[in-house]
Structure 1
Amino acid sequence: MDRKEAFFNHITEGYKAKGDSLVFGSAMLDGETIKDAFVKVPLKTLNRHGLIAGATGTGKTKTLQVMAENLSEKGVPVLLMDIKGDLSGLAKASPGHPKIDERHAAIGLPFEAKEFPVEVLTISEQEGTRLRATISEFGPVLLSRILDLTVAQSGIVSIIFKYCDDNKLPLLDLKDFKKILQFATDEGKEEIQAEYGRISSMSTGAILRKLVELEQQGGDLFFGEKSFEVKDLVRKVDDKGVISILRLTDIQDKPKLFSTFMLQLLAEVYSTFPEQGDSGKLELVIFIDEAHLIFKEASKALLSQIESIVKLIRSKGIGLFFVTQNPKDVPEDVLAQLGLKVQHALRAFTAKDRKAIKLAAENYPDSEYYDVDESLTQLGIGEAFVSALNEKGIPTPLAATMMRAPMSRMDVLSQKELETLIENSKLYEKYEEAIDRDSAYEILNKKIEDINEKEEVAKKKKEASKSKRSSSRRSSTRMNPILKVVTSATFIRGVLGILKRVI
């Protein structure tokens, strides 16, 4: 058996799957694509999460697109974070190209152009179905971690939430939370202190500053009603999973808002979806493009929260995939949880780059067929190292893979196409209108008005009473002269009468 035949058997044995699987492409040896040496990943293992990494222009986005298409075709809904704005083409079929036909002939897969059901979402000022969440849905612990508060400040947030729960004050948007913080340090200070303990004005001031920072990054658009229901992410159309594309092209300079949204979404998904253990049934797969934005300014507490969710959420049938330029962008504790790794080419322009490549190579199993360090810099566009888990949870052989081409358009929708897609959305009308019902802000304003009115009435009564007493004293000191004479005479007569009786 020659080397090529041995390699073919090595790959087909290592990547065989009895159940549904995603076909990434065909394995490569010594730069040559080995036809029909399919690299397949079992569908049931995708809740073990994954990583798609590689330098700019190496094909990460197309790999993400291929995976989303195949999952949708298998009936699995997908959520994509579209940071660069180049994924909307999933809604239209590929126009085809001779190079695509050539690639697929080498792989051994027929090419078929298809379009997929797409929903366009937004958390910013961009067009799309609006995603919102309320302050109450975050809860005191998650909100404190997002704002990176101290232990003392977090305690105050917990008191605020407790006070609002006890007094039926809905916390829906940022102005609600800002108002209750102001109330706690001014008009309501004594009331809250008597029931829940002292609240430092310095701490509430620090919390307010953190809220303003979040507000400046677009938090006022994200917080509010109507809250987005995560069940709307798991819809199907004609047995295809809906691909929800969250447009985030204006979010790169707002990492706080992005990490806030992602953490809230993952927490909401985890708390909403039923526990299903290791059933192998996928409910939703989430791809987080430019994943470094989540971890860029995350505090230790926030990172800990993300790590916990990554570990636990797979039991809900949820798969998470981080897409970034270098594996080092993802914290080690998160990286250790990722079962599938797709590594596109890395570039070694500096000594620092070469060190990063050596570290990246250590994330992959040893192979007698590849020098991983060297091959990582020699992979072409649309080629990647793949390492996954088989149906038994055992790591598959490392395979340099010629990736299949997307079945949908590898370009963005035109403005008119995008507008038509949004107009035809069943979710757009449901979430477009912002609701601003009476909540903590309005209720507290009314309460403050009542307090001020009562204080004003009490002040006027006090002043009236004071004026009356003063008038009474003046009247007693300015007695009528005739009355004075009569009073004096009466007194004298009384005294004299007493004296006479004594004598």
Structure 2
Amino acid sequence: MTFDETYRAAFGFTDPALDVGRVLREGSPAAELAVKIPLRMMNRHGLIAGSTGTGKTRTLQLIAEDLSRNGVPVFLADVKGDLAGMCVQGESNERLNARRVHPAEAFPVEFFSLTGNRGIQLRATVSSFGPVLLGKVLDLTDVQQSVLAMVFKYCDDRRMPLLDFDDLRDVLNYLVTDGKDDLKQYGGMSAATVGVLVRKMVELEQQGAAKFFGEPELDINDLMRAVPTQNGIRGIVNILSLADVQDKPRLYSTFLMWLLGQFYFKMPEAGDPDKPKLVFFFDEAHQLFDDASSALVEHIEQVARLIRSKGIGVFFITQTPKDVDEDVLAQLGNRVQHAIRAFTPKDAKNIKATASTFPPSEHVDVPKSLTSLGIGEALVSVLDPKGVPTPVAPAQVLAPSSWMSAIDDAQYQRVISASTLNAKYSTAINRESAHEILQAKLAKSAEAEPPQPSEGDDFDWRQSAPAARSTSRRKSTTLSTSGARRSSRSTAERVFESAARGVANQVGHEAVRALKRGLLGMLKF
């Protein structure tokens, strides 16, 4: 087939689709040759790649806008702050309007933040985050990771929710002092390892990131809304503002993976819907895979492969396909590849590797095109409505309709103040958790039924009874003050079981109704 026939056949389908751009014919956009992504194929995932400054962010913005027009909510990470302008109508001029198929428009936006700056505070409990992802955030070794997993198992078995770092710190300290015997069935751990874990937690707290761990935890249903606007029904554009934590890539990349896991575990099976329920844009994706353990990479691949059936689409945004693990890359059916600038021998290798990931083309010299594409131009290959990859198309990407730059703090605050979610998440909840419940149970047991110490047991329950919980929620470093050894069925263990039942009653079903962990070591509800 001729050049025009090839791309007319590839993108001539009439199914609902997102308009990405126009095919470049001899360097100029052909108005009659549209490049589109079928809406129902957006949950087959995708990749937006290219060197810095080639147009990745604007392509992301364009696709997010078109999804919103189709009533599909999106969640995207704004690392540099230049996606925040989606809440403002874009500039209108002759040059931009010539590259648009929709007029300038503002979109309904919710701003979120991991620190509470420039967005509604996001939180997750330590328990739901799980040991695998938390280990990634804390940059733990394999040995330290295994110890952390053991601590989570210990707490899960006793229905002791870990809500924040205070809870985790207290459990760690307890298990290397008075609770040593409780760990025998799990294998035990050294005080030195616990010391490392606590120091790494302190480092994260000093960076201000520990505000993320706690409650109220994010409800994913709040991200999956569509609202009426003057232009019709629009899916909410949920923007995670990361400008203030862009130097903490482990934290935000791991949070994004936690959020994906939440969608996987909590969303019902959707089959093969006509349009996705939500599309998730994972910016700076290489940060997730850098130094990732083989176990974490395997979990990521499983989530990417299985979450499609929940109606969730995932797009990774990075510089080259090599930044994404091969098994994950194999799950990405839609590709928008911007230019790769070759300045070093390593860059040249990247070009060759990137070209090899595209299907063969009789009309496009992929390696040559990768270095000659201009800003806002890309090689595009997507899945057609039948799920078949289209031929690689050189395209000029359309211009977004919303503002293509950052906004000031006043605009952030106007959007946040007007949000119906602000009141729900702005105030932290310090309800009782494992630490307080155990202390109360130990105190009550000591008063009601003081145990008779056996030979060699010098544990003094009355002297170690804990004080009442303080309003500032500053917790002691251990749950008791004695280092006594207890028998295999001591009063302390019975108190633990009683406390566990108390947790189930006081914490509520949401946290503990089924403490089972699945992919990524996350809680399954």
Inter-CA distance 326–153: structure 2 relative to 1 (3 Å threshold): closer
Deviations 1:36-55 (A, max 9, x none): 10111101111111111111
| Aligned partner (choices 30, 33, 36) of residue 29 of structure 2 | 33
SS at match of 2:82: coil
| Aligned partner (choices 192, 198, 211) of residue 221 of structure 1 | 211
Distance in 1 separating the partners of 2:133 and 2:49: 29
1:62 to 2:44 alignment? no
Shift of 1:352: 1.8
Inter-CA distance 133–33: structure 2 relative to 1 (3 Å threshold): same
Inter-CA distance 264–217: structure 2 relative to 1 (3 Å threshold): farther
| Aligned partner (choices 402, 408, 412) of residue 414 of structure 1 | 408
Match of 1:201 in 2: 191
Inter-CA distance 389–186: structure 2 relative to 1 (3 Å threshold): same
Inter-CA distance 197–300: structure 2 relative to 1 (3 Å threshold): closer
1:302 to 2:296 alignment? yes
Distance in 1 separating the partners of 2:146 and 2:372: 53
**In structure 1, what residue type is equivalent to 2:166?**
K
SS at match of 1:376: helix
Structure 1: gaps (5+ residues): 460-503
SS at match of 1:377: helix
Distance in 2 separating the partners of 1:292 and 1:198: 35
Matches within 5 A, 1:90-239: 90-104=86-100, 109=101, 111-140=102-131, 142-143=133-134, 147=138, 156-165=147-156, 167-190=158-181, 192-193=182-183, 198-238=188-228, 239=233
Shift of 1:259: 2.9
Shift of 1:415: 2.2
Distance in 1 separating the partners of 2:54 and 2:141: 42
Q: Which structure's CA Rg is the greater one?
A: 1
Distance in 1 separating the partners of 2:187 and 2:53: 57
Matches within 5 A, 1:46-85: 46-85=42-81
Shift of 1:361: 1.2
Match of 2:306 in 1: 312
Task: Give TM-score, length-normalised by structure 2.
Answer: 0.79
Distance in 2 separating the partners of 1:193 and 1:377: 58
Match of 1:9 in 2: 5
**In structure 1, what residue type is equivalent to 2:391?**
P
Distance in 1 separating the partners of 2:139 and 2:80: 28
Structure 2: gaps (5+ residues): 447-458, 466-480, 482-525
Match of 2:267 in 1: 273
Deviations 1:93-118 (A, max 9, x none): 112121113335xxxx4x41111110
Inter-CA distance 295–142: structure 2 relative to 1 (3 Å threshold): closer
Inter-CA distance 288–196: structure 2 relative to 1 (3 Å threshold): closer
**In structure 2, what residue type is equivalent to 1:14?**
A
Match of 2:517 in 1: none
SS at match of 2:388: coil
| Percent identical residues | 47
Match of 2:234 in 1: 240
Shift of 1:446: 5.6
SS at match of 1:366: coil
SS at match of 2:20: strand
- Indicate the larger mover: 165-174 or 21-30: 165-174
Shift of 1:249: 1.1
**In structure 2, what residue type is equivalent to 1:164?**
C
Shift of 1:456: 7.0
**In structure 1, what residue type is equivalent to 2:179?**
G
Shift of 1:366: 1.7
Superposition RMSD on alpha carbons, in Å? 2.5
More helix by share: 1
Shift of 1:293: 1.7
Match of 2:341 in 1: 347
Distance in 1 separating the partners of 2:134 and 2:408: 38
Contact 1:344 1:376 in 2 (8 A): yes
Task: Give TM-score, length-normalised by structure 1.
Answer: 0.83
Contact 1:82 1:248 in 2 (8 A): yes
Distance in 1 separating the partners of 2:175 and 2:217: 27
1:382 to 2:376 alignment? yes
SS at match of 2:71: coil
Deviations 1:138-189 (A, max 9, x none): 2455545655656765565455345435555331001100101101111233
| Aligned partner (choices 15, 20, 26) of residue 16 of structure 2 | 20
SS at match of 2:406: coil
1:391 to 2:378 alignment? no
Deviations 1:46-76 (A, max 9, x none): 1111111111111111100100000000010
Inter-CA distance 153–370: structure 2 relative to 1 (3 Å threshold): closer
1:331 to 2:331 alignment? no
| Aligned partner (choices 358, 366, 369) of residue 372 of structure 1 | 366
| Aligned partner (choices 425, 428, 435) of residue 434 of structure 1 | 428
**In structure 1, what residue type is equivalent to 2:268?**
P
1:259 to 2:253 alignment? yes
Distance in 2 separating the partners of 1:283 and 1:334: 21
Shift of 1:448: 7.8
Inter-CA distance 148–303: structure 2 relative to 1 (3 Å threshold): farther
**In structure 2, what residue type is equivalent to 1:16?**
G
